[in-house]
Structure 1
Amino acid sequence: MRFPLATNCTLLLPCLAFGKIDRQRIVSQFNIIRTSLIDNETTPLQVGNGNFAFNVDNTGMQSFLPFNTLSSWAWHNDSLPANGELPSKYKGLMRETYGREVYYDIPDPKLKQATQWLISNPNRINLGRIGLKYKGNTLDKSLIIDPKQELDLWDGVITSTFKIDGTDVKVVTQCDFDSDAVAFTVDSGLIKSGDLQIELDFPYPPIHTTRYKYEVFAGVYDFPLNHTTTLVQGGSDPTSAHIQHEMQELQYFINLRWPEDTPVKLIRNEAPNSTTITAHRYTLSSTSKSSSVAFTAHFSPDQRVPSFPASIQDKNARAWNKYWKDGGFVDLTASSNPNATELQRRIIKSQYHVRVNSAAKGQSPQESGLMNNGWYGKFHMEMLIWHNAHWSSWGRQQYFDNIFPELYETLLPSSLARAKSMGWEGARWPKMTELNTGVSSPGDINAFILWQQPHPMYLAQLAYQARPTRDTLQRWDKVLTATADYMASYPWLNRTTGKYDLGPPSYGVTENTPPSSTRNLAYEIAYWRYGLDAAVSWKRKLHQPVPEKWTHVASSLALPPQVEGLYAVYDGLDSSWWNDTKLNGDPRSLIMLQGILPDTPAVDPKVALRTADKVWEVWGDSKIRGWGRPVLAINSARIGNPERAIYHLTAFDSWKFDSAGFAIRGGDGGTPPPFMPGNAGFLLAIAYCAAGWQGSEVDAPGFPKDGSWTIKHEGLSRAL
């Protein structure tokens, strides 16, 4: 329901502005500008396309900081454990479940190295470093004077200017939207003199022990004989060259291309059998009289001639312009609230960052996107909604559809096998994984976490809401059937209560309960009910028979536990749990009952509202981290408390976004930024607050009605 624009804002509604939004003006207002040299504690700026990203220091390249070049296809396996343990010998450990012994993916103390190998393999690799060299040496940071770098968000271009020995240098960096290619133009008198050249180098992945769980710089240069690089000669195109990189099972090429009127030459710096850390370095230098050099660097499993840099530069700008013009937009610039500008900054920059890091084909991003290797490059299945639901809410369904249901279809065979080996039907989805093997990385939490299992139902509902067709129903049916079969098979009938229970063993959303005694986690059991009901509805829309077991288990599931009129994290607690610092330090699962979770018969709205108010009392700002703020904002909007919703989104002192606009996880996470569920979850929460959800009755239901907020939005979709 929309309301006419009032001459004066009343105290009944936030101010609603209408008319076409000048998107380019607003986006460009938040271009990222840096005028100081960064260090390894600073997040780099990026160009990328969702499948590929190139991360840069102040030079627009990777000159004095070896940032990463990451792709969705580039993975590698470490050597097998040095002590001879074989990962194939790992079977997990048994835990009693519903009166029988079940093997779970728990670290095996008798196979420590094999377990660690499975956790850390395969791992995402750094495809290569491209930087500047000056007078024959890698450009030293101390030589760079007067740096200025700007990321033009509307065009997706990074322009870096600086001086070396008093001479101006300008580097323009852009990425191809259709391939793993980055285009550079370097302008300087130092190019003409031959003092400034391009350097290419290729690291090798280390053995990934727990020490390498978070790699800011992925790869090392200490093992030159473990891999080979070869300058590929020949070919009929005089404007291209190729370097082949081989490391065990992985082989790929960096394909180079330059304009015919500004030719370059490519040489290898050292002999192929060199044992120095510079063994795999190459130099690209101009052979013309020009003070400019332009080239494309294209990374690919195969050798090919890439596009000219001018073609990529033109295509990249047009693609970014289209991205910003299409889909949803939120304009807060007419607001008088002092928090509006920073909130707008976060909205704009988050939209850039998710397009670069979170728009891969058929896979979800790792938590640190395509910037660094958090968790060895693997993604987390329980985070799929926080990473990807915003695509639907922001009217960019094509990016959502590029990921789903293909991701689940890829993992379906291994997930069916996992459930069968554990004695259940259907598909048991992994926790921390990748698409090459589908293995659920061993871990005490990974083995018992439950809330990723109903995600396909939620995601399928988003797909159907965007496109309510039979084609959508059929496309998701196989995945939903396998998911529901497992969800109906997994619970056990408690003969005492006559209800179906979940666990033990189990871990919940917050991963802080005792797994061996945790039964009927409040959010998980409510989500289970929602998921089974959604699967039943799906079959009925297809006019297919509904398995009786689905409806029986759904209607007979235990309800989320209550204590003294409030929801409790899991069954068996008494009211004293609210004073238990281990549990009250992060009670987000209770917020999710009437937040991200759509309405379900399992949840009493009145109890959920009282519980949300209690959580507000006990969950202090200093303890909220990760995607806690978005879920708190969503919950607050849904329970009719917009003041609290916007407080959570504007608690800037507690919820940090860095200078580049990347969300910082905070708390005890220990992860370097970025934290992509923070940016993506933030966008999802903004959509809830601006456009509402199914059943909400006013526009901008998550913004306070105090007259200080003027909200203009277009192209957003209501949440579930």
Structure 2
Amino acid sequence: MTLHRYVCITLFLAVAGAQAASIDRQALVSRHNPSLNSIDTMAPLSVGNGRFAFTADVTGLQSLPDLYWKTGTPTETQARWSWHENANPNHYKLSDANRDYTAHGRTLGYPTNQNSPAGQWLRLNPHVQPLPQIGFVLGGADARPLAAADVTSVDQKLDMWRGQLDSRVQLLGQPVSVSSAVDPGSDTLALRIKSPLLASGRIAVRVALPFGYDFRVKHNPPLDWSGTHTSTVLEQSPRLLIIEHRRDAARYAMTLASAAPLAIKRSGPHSFEISPSAGGDTLDLTVSFAQNGRAPAQQSEQVFTRSAEHWRAFWQSGAAVDFSGSTDPRAAELERRVVLSEYLTAIQLGDTIPAQESGLTTATWFGKHHTEMVWWHTAHFALWGRPEYTARTLGWFQRTLPAARAVAAERGLKGARWMKMTGPEGRESPGGNPLIVWNQPHAIHLAELLYRANPTHETLARYNELVFETADAMASMLNWDAAGKRFVLGPPLWIAQEIYDQSSSENPAYELSYWAWALETAQRWRERLGMPRNPDWENRRTHLSALPQKDGKYVALESHPDTWENVDSRHDHPSFLMAFGQLPGDGVDRAIMRNTLDAVLTKWDWATKIWGWDYPMIAMTAARLGEPDKAVDVLLKTDGPNNGYTKAGHNPNTGLPVYLPGNGALLAAVAMMAGGWDGAPDRPAPGFPNNGRWVVHAEGFQRLP
């Protein structure tokens, strides 16, 4: 990973006369290393590099897959480049799932018919393809899969400073130890395994290559072992096994290598059992993967060394926040969530293909990413002084500009209109998805964060096409209301609070503010490049509709101003708060927003459907309003669903054991609260209470606009 130099400012809150000192980052990270002493199926631990990850149960491998899948979080091996697509004999195209919507004097087709045959195929394809499952099996007279009752004396610890997972258990009353790490520069898993059971032949390591996922289950689908696929041995020797897996046109190669001789047994068409040759008690393996060609064999010692170097550099770069010394009893838990979220987002997000909401742990929405989540997934990297991760993901938007231009043209728009739910190729997925609009400004926002991290002509030149074409589409999505002498947004559209009728929704508060901010930001990019302001953008921005309000509070939509009158309108995301939280408040009246925040805190439906990213999002609004106590209270709110964090650091949400938008939003909120924002009060950590109970040491943060 390329390291960037940043000026670090140590901030202290509530410690009078304290001397500035750098945070002891190794101590900060190490005190939150996850440690397990029993089976916890909600907290399998992972090692990874952002595009490839291996998730293990307490044995250090994937030895109890059914138990973890049925009762907690699946244990899988995933790579963000591994995809499969079913045959399309009917030649379905996106327009085959269209439904007509009439508004503003014209009728346009949008692919919202997800239940049609075309819609079903297009939603399912392409989909992620899992990599092999690697786990212990019992051999000899005990030959069978491992059961939970076989596992005792659990002692498992993830060393995040080195990116190394160390697992010790007893199987059949005998000790077994496994250490694992992932190479930062290749998709390679290194394993060090030691047990007398290996020498006696009573256990072996089974490598099994699945057909794919059983997508009859929408989220966290089980692995499917039943379909037609091939696992071909390309090369085998005492120290090397190279296998090519093919399923239709999808393929990958696996290279298993060892410095010592191995006993390799093919136990089935798609499974292999690995044990030491000549009865040794140690296996020192690397398992490498490649989408194209063969993955070169790696040495395990070098992988462990490179992993340690990479993670030490990661933690020593960018920002850090330390709450030690705080007397608020919630401070230690917040610090734990933050450190674990830094690790989890680094191993699962920030790739050149945007992540699904479950990262590289399990499959959700067929592995496709939701572009409205890209801000929560990657903005925090830039705010934490690690903009290279944000840049990798933004590169996907640059590569898929042709697809976004095509979508814009089909809908009568200029520029590039971003798809909502898509795989690596950038094709829209049918459903309500194509009518979501709050994903549109994200590309501009992320580009602006990268410019603030590196305010050079090079940054402007790299992203100006992306910024300008996104702004062109956004401007052309606005329609002139002659009677009101203003531009309106929608219909049709689907707002961030996904509960309203798409065919009639018009002028959502959050999205209007985002439009105003993004168009003004695009204008500033033109000025930075010595270009005049775009007159069309300016006309539309300055004549944009006002944010809808009623009775002194903002409402979700001008067309449906029932937010505070209808209890059924007060669930899902209170997204209008983002206009003054995630965003700096274009068009926002602070007094009205303060009333709105108070109404959300007292009248919103906190008991049922509210998502993990809502809590940090609301905290950001409270911080901007100068309400740091409320910001902390909602950030750590316990009397609502979906705001818990497992021992592994994951933020489970309803039906989803892993939900990374929650982790990313937490990091964005803490970055803002600790590092500040444009126009923040001139004091350290302005988003945290100045009440003597919070001691906040923060360094290296970039301010939020």
Into which bin does the TM-score normalised by the smaller protein fall? over 0.9
Q: 1:592 aligns with which of 559, 578, 583?
A: 578
Superposed CA offset, 1:342-364 (max 9, x none): 1111111111111111131x222
2:110–2:434 contact (8 Å) kept in structure 1: yes
1:194 to 1:207, Cα distance in 2 relative to 1, 3 A: closer
Superposed CA offset, 1:98-129 (max 9, x none): 111101011165xx232111111111111111
Distance in 2 (alpha carbons) for counterparts of 1:491 and 1:204:
46
Say which SS state the counterpart of residue 480 (structure 2) adopts.
strand
- Larger deviation, residues 464-473 vs 15-24: 15-24
Structure 1 residue aligned with 2:5: none
1:141 to 1:88, Cα distance in 2 relative to 1, 3 A: same
| Residue 704 of structure 2 is aligned to residue 715 of structure 1 | no
Say which SS state the counterpart of residue 710 (structure 1) adopts.
coil
1:108 to 1:4, Cα distance in 2 relative to 1, 3 A: closer
2:95–2:110 contact (8 Å) kept in structure 1: no
Superposed CA offset, 1:126-164 (max 9, x none): 111111122143333322222221111211111111112
* Offset of residue 288 of structure 1: 3.7
Structure 2 residue aligned with 1:158: 165
| Residue 23 of structure 2 is aligned to residue 21 of structure 1 | yes
Distance in 1 (alpha carbons) for counterparts of 2:651 and 2:637:
13
| Residue 98 of structure 2 is aligned to residue 101 of structure 1 | no
| Residue 430 of structure 2 is aligned to residue 442 of structure 1 | yes
1:28 to 1:207, Cα distance in 2 relative to 1, 3 A: closer
Distance in 2 (alpha carbons) for counterparts of 1:703 and 1:619:
24
Structure 1 residue aligned with 2:47: 47
Distance in 1 (alpha carbons) for counterparts of 2:557 and 2:124:
32
Say which SS state the counterpart of residue 299 (structure 1) adopts.
strand
* Offset of residue 533 of structure 1: 0.9
* Offset of residue 517 of structure 1: 1.8
Structure 1 residue aligned with 2:146: 139
- Partner letter of residue 106 of structure 1? T
* Offset of residue 195 of structure 1: 2.2
Distance in 1 (alpha carbons) for counterparts of 2:117 and 2:513:
38
- Partner letter of residue 570 of structure 1? L
Superposed CA offset, 1:162-188 (max 9, x none): 112221111111111111110111111
1:327 to 1:186, Cα distance in 2 relative to 1, 3 A: same
| Residue 267 of structure 2 is aligned to residue 265 of structure 1 | no
1:90–1:108 contact (8 Å) kept in structure 2: no
1:193-212 aligned within 5 A = 193-206=200-213, 208=215, 211-212=216-217
* Offset of residue 550 of structure 1: 1.1
Say which SS state the counterpart of residue 607 (structure 2) adopts.
helix
1:618-633 aligned within 5 A = 618-623=603-608, 624-633=610-619
Structure 2 residue aligned with 1:610: 595
* Offset of residue 407 of structure 1: 1.4
Q: 1:685 aligns with which of 669, 672, 675?
A: 669
Q: 2:621 aligns with which of 628, 635, 652?
A: 635
2:127–2:366 contact (8 Å) kept in structure 1: yes
| Residue 468 of structure 2 is aligned to residue 481 of structure 1 | yes
1:424 to 1:140, Cα distance in 2 relative to 1, 3 A: same
- Partner letter of residue 50 of structure 2? G
Structure 2 residue aligned with 1:227: 229
1:9-408 aligned within 5 A = 9=15, 18-39=20-41, 42-65=42-65, 67-80=75-88, 86-87=92-93, 90-107=96-113, 112-135=116-139, 136-206=143-213, 208=215, 211-217=216-222, 219-223=223-227, 226-233=228-235, 239-259=239-259, 262-270=260-268, 279-301=269-291, 302-360=293-351, 362-404=352-394, 406-408=395-397
1:522-541 aligned within 5 A = 522-541=509-528
- Partner letter of residue 534 of structure 2? P
1:408–1:479 contact (8 Å) kept in structure 2: yes
- Partner letter of residue 403 of structure 1? T
1:5 to 1:521, Cα distance in 2 relative to 1, 3 A: closer
1:2–1:698 contact (8 Å) kept in structure 2: no
1:227–1:247 contact (8 Å) kept in structure 2: yes
Q: Considering only aligned residues, what root-mean-square deviation do their CA atoms show, in Å? A: 2.1
Structure 2 residue aligned with 1:426: 415
* Offset of residue 587 of structure 1: 5.7
Unmatched tracts of structure 1, length 5 or more: 271-278
| Residue 373 of structure 2 is aligned to residue 409 of structure 1 | no
| Residue 457 of structure 2 is aligned to residue 467 of structure 1 | no
2:370–2:420 contact (8 Å) kept in structure 1: yes
* Offset of residue 413 of structure 1: 0.7
Superposed CA offset, 1:531-558 (max 9, x none): 1111111111111243321111111111
* Offset of residue 699 of structure 1: 1.3
Distance in 2 (alpha carbons) for counterparts of 1:664 and 1:62:
21
Say which SS state the counterpart of residue 162 (structure 2) adopts.
coil
How many residues align? The count is 682
1:4 to 1:703, Cα distance in 2 relative to 1, 3 A: closer
Superposed CA offset, 1:473-504 (max 9, x none): 11111111111111121111111011011111
2:498–2:572 contact (8 Å) kept in structure 1: no
Unmatched tracts of structure 2, length 5 or more: 1-7, 67-74
1:159 to 1:471, Cα distance in 2 relative to 1, 3 A: same
| Residue 690 of structure 2 is aligned to residue 705 of structure 1 | yes
Give the TM-score normalised by the residue count of structure 2: 0.93
Superposed CA offset, 1:591-624 (max 9, x none): 1111111242x22233222322332221254254
1:591–1:612 contact (8 Å) kept in structure 2: yes
2:322–2:698 contact (8 Å) kept in structure 1: yes
- Partner letter of residue 167 of structure 1? Q
Structure 2 residue aligned with 1:558: 545
Superposed CA offset, 1:417-463 (max 9, x none): 01111111111101111222x1111112x121111111122111101
Say which SS state the counterpart of residue 224 (structure 2) adopts.
coil
- Partner letter of residue 379 of structure 1? H
Superposed CA offset, 1:344-399 (max 9, x none): 11111111111111131x22211111000011111110111111111011111121
* Offset of residue 87 of structure 1: 4.8
1:87–1:117 contact (8 Å) kept in structure 2: no
1:320 to 1:521, Cα distance in 2 relative to 1, 3 A: same
Distance in 1 (alpha carbons) for counterparts of 2:213 and 2:430:
20
Distance in 2 (alpha carbons) for counterparts of 1:700 and 1:88:
48
Identity %: 32
* Offset of residue 649 of structure 1: 1.6
Distance in 1 (alpha carbons) for counterparts of 2:108 and 2:154:
59
Distance in 1 (alpha carbons) for counterparts of 2:126 and 2:346:
25
* Offset of residue 249 of structure 1: 0.6
Q: Which runs of 4+ in 1 moved over 3 A?
A: 1-6, 15-18, 84-89
Distance in 2 (alpha carbons) for counterparts of 1:483 and 1:23:
39
Say which SS state the counterpart of residue 376 (structure 1) adopts.
helix
Distance in 2 (alpha carbons) for counterparts of 1:133 and 1:613:
56
- Larger deviation, residues 579-588 vs 379-388: 579-588
